C-alpha cells in the first residue's frame, strides 16, 4: 500500500517533469513555423455611459458609436485573433440617462460581459463620489488599476489595484494605471481623502517593477492624463518622453481621435506607443504587436503606408 | 524533507524555471495600429443575457417625452456660444423669479462650457437631450464675490476667451458684458453699470464651480449666500417645457456679450 502510494507519487512527479519539458518542446515546434508571438490590444476610453449609439438627431455623431457596437467589433476581432486583450482608460461614467438611473452598474455589467481585462479611474468616475463608485464596483469583474491615487484613507481602500500581470500566449503583460490630478477638476466632497501621487514618478516606479522585478515582456500604462496640452500640464506625450520601461500608453480624458497609435521616444531613446480612441464608444483603438526572441525591430507605425490593407474590414 | 518531496520540489522548480524562461527574452519586433470607428453599419450587440431592453424601457418613457422644439442647433462657443448664452440666461431668469428674497437676487451668472456635455439639436427636444447636455447633478448657488476675487474671475474669462482648446475655451455668462482688447480687459459692465472693484456682487453659479471646479479655485474664497438647491438640469427642463406650453420655441442669439477687439 505504502509502496504503491510512493510509486504513484513518483509517477506523478515524472508526469510533472514531462509536462514541464513538453512546454518548451511545443514551443520549439511552433518555432519551426514562426517563433514569434502575437498580441492584439483593443482599447476604449471615455465611454461616458454611451451604451447605445448616439441619437439620430445628434448634430455630429448621429447613429454612430455605442458600447454595444464596440462589443460586436471586439467579438469579430476575437474570432480571427487568438491573443486579444481588451482595456479601458477611464471615464466610464456620466453622459447618458443610463448613468443617472443605474449609477454605473449597467456600464460595469456590460463591460464585464465584453471581457475587459482592466480599466483605470477617470475624473468622471468620481461623479457620484468615491462612495458612489464603491457602491457599484462589485458589478465589474475586472480590476481598476489606480497606481497614483492613494485610497488608503477612503472607502475605496483595497478595492482597486496598483498593477495587474496577465500572461497571454507566453507573453507576460504588466499593466498599471495613472489618473489625472483631481483637485480643481473634481470637488473635494467627491474624492474626499484620496491622495494624489506624482504621475511621472509613480509611472516610472511601476514600469521598472513590472519590467525588471516581474520580468514582463510588455508594460502598458492606462492613463487618464490626457493626450497633449499647450500648457506644461503632464500629458501622455510628456509622460512618454520622460518615461523608462513603458512600452504602451493607452490614454483618455482629452477625447482625442487618432487614426493610429503614435511613436514617441522615451528618456532612453526607446520607443513608446501612445494611443487614444476618441470618446463615447465612437472608436476602438487597436494595436497589434509581434514579439520575437530575435532583436530585429521593425516598427511599422513609423513607416505606415499600406496599413488599412493589413486589416480585414469590420 | 524526504527524497520524494525533494524530487517533487525539483520538478516544480524546473517547471517554474521553464515557464519563466519561456516568457523571458520575448521583445517587441513589429507594431501595427489602426483605430476603428464604430460606424452605423456595424451591428449593435444585444446583450440578451443582461436583458438590456428592460433597462432601456424603464427610462425611455420618462426620457423620450418631447417638451419643446428648438429653432437652431446650439453649441458651446468662444468667446460666446449659443448654448452658453441660452443656459446662463435662463438660469439667471429662473432663479430671479424663484428666489423671492431680493437680498439674494444674483447680479450675473457664470457657468462653464466643460459642463455642457452635448449640443442642443434643432427640432424636437426630449428630456433625454437635456440629460445629455447636463448629466451632472449640479445645483445652483449664489455667492458673494468681492473686488479682488472678481478681478481673478475676469482674468480667467479673458484667458479662456483666447484659448483655442476645443472643450476648454470660452466662459458662458449672463448679466455681464465684457470688451477685450488684445489680451487686456478693456471694459466690463455688470448689467447696465460699469464694474466697480469696490462693489460686492452676487454671482449665480453651480456648486461645482463654487467648489473651485474647472480651474476656478478663486471661487472657493467666496461666501455662499444662498443655496437654491435647484439642479441646473431641472431648471433647464422646467424652462424649456414652460415656454413650450406657451407655444414658444427655443432659440438663442449671439449678442456680443464678450467682444474681442483686435
DSSP-derived secondary structure for A249-269: EE--SS--B-SS-EEEE-TTS
Chain A nearest-CA distance from B139, in A, is 13
Out of A23-32, A78-87, A239-248, pick the least confident. Answer: A23-32
Q: What is the rounded distance in angstroms from the CA atom of residue B130 to the CA atom of residue B70?
A: 12
Q: What is the rounded distance in angstroms from the CA atom of residue B199 to the CA atom of residue B59?
A: 47
**Count of residues in chain A:** 314
Architecture per CATH, domain B59-261, reads as: Alpha-Beta Complex (3.90)
Q: Which residues of A touch B23 (CB under 8 A)?
A: 167, 170-172, 215, 217
Which residue, A146, A97, A122, is CA-closest to B129? A97
Q: Searching chain B, which residue's CA lies closest to the CA of residue A290?
A: B30
Does A23 contact chain B (CB < 8 Å)? Answer: yes
Q: What is the rounded distance in angstroms from the CA atom of residue A274 to the CA atom of residue A195?
A: 26
Phi, psi of B44 (to 5 degrees): -90, 120
Q: Searching chain B, which residue's CA lies closest to the CA of residue A168?
A: B23
pLDDT tens digits for B169-190? 999 999 999 999 877 888 999 9
Would the pTM of this model clear 0.90, i.e. be above it? no
pLDDT tens digits for A221-266? 999 999 999 999 999 999 999 999 999 999 999 999 999 999 999 9
pLDDT for res A27? 42
Domain ranges within chain B, ordered by starting residue: 59-261
Does a structural domain hold residue A308? no
Q: What is the rounded distance in angstroms from the CA atom of residue A62 to the CA atom of residue A39?
A: 33
Does A217 contact chain B (CB < 8 Å)? Answer: yes
Q: Which residues of B touch A295 (CB under 8 A)?
A: 27, 29
CATH assignment at residue A227: 3.60.21.10
Region of A67 on the Ramachandran plot (φ > 0 left; ψ -120 to 50 alpha; else beta):
alpha
What nine digits make up the cell of B39? 460606424
Q: Which residues of A touch B35 (CB under 8 A)?
A: 257-261, 275, 277, 283-286
Residue A105 pLDDT greater than 60, yes or no: yes
CA B37 to chain centre: 25
Of B44, B55, B117, the CB nearest to A69: B44
Query: Exposed/middle/buried for B137, CB within 10 Å: 0-12, 13-18, 19+?
Result: middle
CB contacts under 8 A, A 235-274 vs B, are 247, 255, 257-261, 271, 273
Q: Containing domain of residue A96, as a range?
A: 39-292
pLDDT tens digits for A53-65? 998 878 899 999 9
pLDDT tens digits for B67-83? 999 999 999 999 999 99
Structural domain tally of chain A? 1
Q: Report, in angstroms and rounded to the nearest whole number, the Rg of chain A calculated over CA atoms.
A: 21
Neighbours of B204 (CB within 10 A): 28
Chain B nearest-CA distance from A62, in A, is 9
Cα distances (angstroms) measured from residue B105 to each of A31, A214, B144, B236: 78, 62, 11, 19
Chain A nearest-CA distance from B100, in A, is 29
Query: In this structure, what DSSP letter does residue A211 have?
Result: I
What is the b/e burial string over A183-218, where b = at least 16 CB atoms within 10 angstroms of the residue's CB? ebbbbeebbbebeeeebbebbbbbbebbbeeeebbb
Cα distances (angstroms) measured from residue B19 to each of A17, A82, A130, A167, A182: 12, 20, 40, 11, 41
Higher pLDDT, B216 or B11: B216
Does a structural domain hold residue A76? yes
Amino acid at each position: 500500500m505504502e509502496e504503491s502510494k510512493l510509486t504513484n507519487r513518483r509517477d506523478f512527479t515524472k508526469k510533472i517533469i514531462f509536462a514541464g519539458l513538453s512546454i518548451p518542446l511545443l514551443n520549439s515546434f511552433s518555432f519551426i513555423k514562426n517563433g514569434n508571438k502575437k498580441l492584439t490590444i483593443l482599447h476604449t476610453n471615455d465611454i461616458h455611459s454611451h451604451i447605445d449609439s448616439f441619437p439620430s438627431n445628434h448634430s455630429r455623431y448621429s447613429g454612430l458609436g455605442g458600447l454595444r457596437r464596440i462589443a460586436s467589433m471586439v467579438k469579430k476581432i476575437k474570432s480571427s485573433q487568438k491573443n486579444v486583450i481588451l482595456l479601458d482608460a477611464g471615464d466610464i461614467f456620466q453622459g447618458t440617462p443610463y448613468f443617472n438611473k443605474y449609477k454605473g452598474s449597467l456600464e460595469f455589467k456590460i463591460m464585464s460581459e465584453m471581457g475587459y481585462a482592466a480599466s483605470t479611474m477617470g475624473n468622471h468616475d468620481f461623479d457620484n463620489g468615491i462612495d458612489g463608485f464603491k457602491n457599484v464596483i462589485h458589478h465589474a469583474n475586472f480590476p481598476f488599476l489606480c497606481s497614483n491615487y492613494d485610497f488608503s484613507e477612503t472607502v475605496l481602500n483595497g478595492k482597486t489595484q496598483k498593477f495587474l500581470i496577465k500572461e497571454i500566449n507566453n507573453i507576460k503583460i504588466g499593466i498599471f494605471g495613472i489618473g489625472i490630478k483631481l483637485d480643481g477638476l473634481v470637488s473635494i466632497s467627491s474624492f474626499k481623502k484620496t491622495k494624489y501621487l506624482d504621475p511621472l514618478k509613480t509611472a516610472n516606479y511601476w514600469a521598472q517593477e513590472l519590467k525588471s522585478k516581474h520580468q514582463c515582456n510588455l508594460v502598458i500604462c492606462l492613463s487618464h492624463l490626457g493626450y497633449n496640452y499647450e500648457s506644461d500640464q503632464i500629458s501622455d506625450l510628456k509622460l512618454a518622453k520622460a518615461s523608462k520601461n513603458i512600452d504602451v500608453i493607452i490614454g483618455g480624458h482629452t477625447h482625442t481621435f487618432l487614426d493610429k497609435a503614435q511613436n514617441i521616444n522615451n528618456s532612453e531613446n526607446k520607443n513608446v506607443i501612445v494611443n487614444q480612441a476618441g470618446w463615447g464608444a465612437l472608436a476602438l483603438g487597436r494595436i497589434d504587436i509581434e514579439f520575437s526572441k530575435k532583436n530585429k525591430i521593425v516598427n511599422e507605425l513609423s513607416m505606415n503606408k499600406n496599413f488599412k490593407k493589413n486589416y480585414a474590414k469590420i | 524533507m524526504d527524497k520524494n518531496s525533494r524530487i517533487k520540489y525539483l520538478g516544480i522548480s524546473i517547471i517554474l524555471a521553464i515557464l519563466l524562461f519561456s516568457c523571458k527574452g520575448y521583445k517587441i519586433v513589429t507594431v501595427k495600429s489602426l483605430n476603428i470607428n464604430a460606424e452605423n453599419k456595424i451591428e449593435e450587440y444585444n446583450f440578451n443575457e443582461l436583458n438590456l431592453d428592460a433597462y432601456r424601457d424603464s427610462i425611455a418613457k420618462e426620457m423620450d417625452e418631447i417638451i419643446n422644439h428648438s429653432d437652431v442647433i446650439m453649441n458651446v462657443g468662444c468667446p460666446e456660444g449659443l448654448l452658453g448664452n441660452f443656459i446662463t440666461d435662463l438660469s439667471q431668469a429662473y432663479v430671479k423669479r424663484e428666489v423671492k428674497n431680493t437680498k439674494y437676487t444674483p447680479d450675473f451668472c457664470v457657468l462653464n462650457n466643460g459642463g455642457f456635455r452635448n449640443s442642443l439639436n434643432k427640432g424636437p427636444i426630449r428630456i433625454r437631450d437635456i440629460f445629455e447636455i447636463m448629466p451632472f447633478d449640479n445645483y445652483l448657488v449664489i455667492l458673494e464675490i468681492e473686488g479682488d476675487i472678481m478681478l481673478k474671475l475676469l482674468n480667467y474669462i479673458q484667458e479662456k476667451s483666447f484659448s483655442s482648446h476645443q472643450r476648454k475655451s470660452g466662459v458662458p455668462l449672463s448679466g455681464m458684458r465684457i470688451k477685450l482688447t488684445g489680451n487686456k480687459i478693456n471694459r466690463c459692465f455688470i448689467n447696465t453699470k460699469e464694474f466697480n472693484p469696490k462693489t460686492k456682487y452676487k454671482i449665480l453659479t453651480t456648486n461645482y464651480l463654487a467648489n473651485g471646479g474647472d480651474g476656478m479655485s478663486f471661487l472657493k474664497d467666496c461666501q455662499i449666500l444662498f443655496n437654491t438647491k435647484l439642479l441646473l438640469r431641472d431648471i433647464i427642463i422646467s424652462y424649456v417645457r414652460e415656454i413650450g406650453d406657451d407655444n414658444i420655441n427655443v432659440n438663442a442669439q449671439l449678442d456680443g456679450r464678450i467682444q474681442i477687439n483686435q
